[in-house]
Chain A
Amino acid sequence: MLSRRRFLSGLAVVSGAALLAACGQEAAPTAAPAKPAAGAEPTKPAASGAAPAAATSAPAAAKPAAAGSLIEITFASHGEVAEQDFYKKAVERFNQAQAKYHATFQAEPTNNWQKYLTLMAGGTMYDTFRNEEKRVAEFVERGNQLLDVTDRAQKDKIDKEDFPATVWDEFFWKGKMYGFGHDLSPAVIFVNRKLWKDKGVDLPPGKWGDPKWDWNAFLAAAKKLTYGEGAQKVFGYIGNTWWVYMHPWIWSNGGEVVDKDGKLVFDSPEATEAWQFYADLSNTQKVSPVAADMTNGPAQLFESQRAAMYVNNTSYTIRARQLKDFDWEMIPYPTAKTGKVFDRVPNNLCSGYAKTPQPDGAWEYLKHMASKEATVDARGMPSRISVASSKDFLTRTPNQNWQLLVDAGQVRRTEPRTPYFNQFDDTLRAAWESVQNGNKSVKDMFTEMRPKLTTILEGKG
């Protein structure tokens, strides 16, 4: 039987040893020189003469820095490992070029936004982080959490001509600059060339707005590319169930979800036609799976040769390039009967935290992320025109039409910017998925959502 004395002794020894090991912050992972503080306190000057740790998450990557005192800056980005590598490289470039600051890379899992809100509430947010243009308004209006860099940008005479005008405008909210660009994520339709070839269907023109590639041509192609039954059925088209990916269809058809005055207009005749056309792809035309069939992600169906077309943004090119024996290409959204086409092109700008103890360092880092040197390593499409139109970008892979992404800049738009985006998104997302599952009609969605979304947009939600 376990005696009390032995129990207590054992417990004390084990607890003490483990507590000692676990209590503090991490020790230097290798025999590399001492590192500046990382983590909870985002910004601390490094000890004089101390060398910073690696700017990457890999402990073995620790490297000595130049002698002297470096001021620590943190930069956080979210996403999966392969995506993070692109941002890691940008951090490494910053550290190689800097004599005053040292950046530490913080790779966050994809559930980052709730964490960021908590860190902001606690005043311990990272100095800089990868943001999205649709979240700028919310961060500013609900707690003034973003660093205003307007004066710094004017002082440094930033070359704004190298950014598409709409992209540049999105760095601002109510006349103040709260971010600086790194990359854009145009949405495109990825195609499986083999399936098109097998069915004898020609790929559409690789240019935006071609009248031959209209909604009717798209539907006809999707029908030809849909065949088989049951678990073996191949679908002509797989969309993204997230409602924001409806924007290109709605915009192209002359509609809006929220107008420029912030008013809900998602049920206008033009928008309604687009919602209905899209819902019919799965519910009536059966050329697309219902949302419930894509719980593991639509990419899985596309990659397993079960879809000829698949909508995603350019971050998917990272994965597409890893696929073996998979012949893929990118094509534009079809042109609406209005003769127009618009694309959803999110702006992955970087922002600083309003309460950072190192606003100058944060600005230096933001400038770096928008520089030509850093945007070369952009995960998606570089936000600088000069880099996006360079040969390096246009030939990232030899058999794909990268020019299509650059040209998306001419037809780009983004989500409505509202301080209540998160709430709006959560509410509409579930309803739209329900429509795509055939559980609700488009009309019912309008009836149910209008009062809720209106309340949210009025800030009373």
Chain B
Amino acid sequence: MNERTLKGPQRWLVQAVLTLGAIALVTPLYWMLATSLKETGKEWLLPPQWIPSPFAFENYPAALTSLPFIYFFRNTIAIVVLATLGTLWTSTMAGFAFARLRFPLRNTLFACVLGTMMLPHVVTLIPTFLLFKSLGWLNTLLPLIVPYWFGGTAFSIFLSRQYFMGVPLELDEAARVDGASNYRIYFAIMLPLAGPLLAALTIFSVLQHWNDFMGPLIYVNSMQMRTLALGLRSFQGTMQTNFNLMMAAATVTVAPVIVLFFAAQRFFMRGVLLTGLAGR
């Protein structure tokens, strides 16, 4: 039974619950927008100022010109696009290998990959910093991109493996009978079937890199190489925060992610559903 088949009070009840849920989800976004238009010191008035009075539109130019946000956007987009491409390509390859190929120690290697998810980031922070230093990559975006071209993340490999395990083996066998290599099976058969998986991985990866704070904080020094997440934190001081300016910058910052989510919502939902069902 779906919502369209409901009649009378049941339908109204479902719609009321959904409306309340939507309001709960939209309220923080609205609060962000409203706060971005409030004067300094008026951000936390009680009762809350739902409609700012007066509108402080000057917060937007003030926030966006106090720091070189154009560079932050450029760098963030470069990281997001390149790291996501790397994740999509290499983690699906790894997932395909773990799901469909037979090779020695396959399960042990997969367990090792999953084991890396248990390591706290702080444990690997200094060793990886020293590695990137020796490569001369500090103050470049390379440490934030290149690692994702070597399998993406353990989670993305896991997700890919689970997805590919759900694709019927008969497809591979038929392709092999026709002489297809592993690469051809991956590119010509698996990838075209993996739309929902790619969409889900894209969403996860974009959100991860768009919001990443610690990576850019550690590896990037100069202002022109920084990212949006670092820029937003610049409005937070040791003892107080410029919430109105931060929210103005956040509104501009979050807009592309919201657009992406709505554009890819259908794929995202399908991806989550399919990968969830495919765990066998």
Taking beta carbons and an 8 Å cutoff, which residues of A are in contact with B?
1-2, 4, 7-8, 11, 14-15, 18-19, 21-26, 29, 38-41, 57-59, 78-84, 106-107, 109-111, 115, 118, 121-124, 126, 231-232, 240, 296-297, 299-301, 303-306, 312-313, 315-316, 319, 322-324, 326
Taking beta carbons and an 8 Å cutoff, which residues of B are in contact with A?
39-47, 66-68, 71, 74-75, 78-79, 81-82, 85, 89, 125-126, 129-130, 133, 136, 138-142, 145, 184, 187-188, 191-192, 213, 217-218, 220-225, 230, 233-243, 245
Give bound CA distance, A72 to B89, whole Å. 41
Give bound CA distance, A23 to B82, whole Å. 11
B43 surroundings in chain A (CB, below 8 A): 300, 303-304
Judging by beta carbons under 8 Å apart, are B235 and A80 in contact? yes
A29 surroundings in chain B (CB, below 8 A): 68, 71, 224
* Nearest B residue (CB) for A83: B237
Give bound CA distance, A297 to B237, whole Å. 11
- 26 sampled A-B residue pairs with Cβ under 8 A: A22-B75, A22-B140, A23-B140, A23-B141, A24-B140, A25-B140, A26-B222, A38-B222, A39-B220, A40-B136, A58-B67, A58-B223, A80-B236, A80-B240, A80-B241, A80-B242, A81-B66, A109-B230, A121-B130, A123-B133, A231-B46, A297-B241, A299-B241, A304-B46, A305-B45, A306-B46
Known: A78-B238, A304-B45. A57 touches B67 (CB 8 A): yes
* Nearest A residue (CB) for B188: A4
Give bound CA distance, A425 to B67, whole Å. 32
A231 surroundings in chain B (CB, below 8 A): 46-47
Q: Ordered nearest first, which 10 A-B pairs have the shortest CB separation?
A: A40-B139, A39-B139, A40-B138, A80-B237, A57-B223, A300-B44, A26-B224, A22-B78, A39-B222, A303-B41
Judging by beta carbons under 8 Å apart, are A81 and B234 in contact? yes
Given contacts A81-B234, A118-B125, A297-B240, 4 further A-B pairs with CB under 8 A are A26-B225, A38-B139, A232-B46, A304-B45
Give bound CA distance, A109 to B187, whole Å. 44
Say which residue of A59, A296, A300, A305 sits within 8 Å of B68 (CB atoms).
A59
Indicate the member of A7, A39, A323 with the most B CB atoms within 10 Å: A39
Judging by beta carbons under 8 Å apart, are B126 and A312 in contact? no
Give bound CA distance, A324 to B133, whole Å. 47
Give bound CA distance, A27 to B239, whole Å. 35
Give bound CA distance, A300 to B85, whole Å. 42
Judging by beta carbons under 8 Å apart, are A111 and B233 in contact? yes
* Nearest A residue (CB) for B126: A121
Give bound CA distance, A41 to B47, whole Å. 51
Known: A7-B191, A118-B126. A82 touches B71 (CB 8 A): no
Give bound CA distance, A1 to B190, whole Å. 12
Give bound CA distance, A326 to B45, whole Å. 13
Say which residue of B39, B71, B133 sits within 8 Å of A124 (CB atoms).
B133
Judging by beta carbons under 8 Å apart, are B239 and A315 in contact? yes
A57 surroundings in chain B (CB, below 8 A): 67-68, 223
Give bound CA distance, A392 to B138, whole Å. 42
A297 surroundings in chain B (CB, below 8 A): 239-241
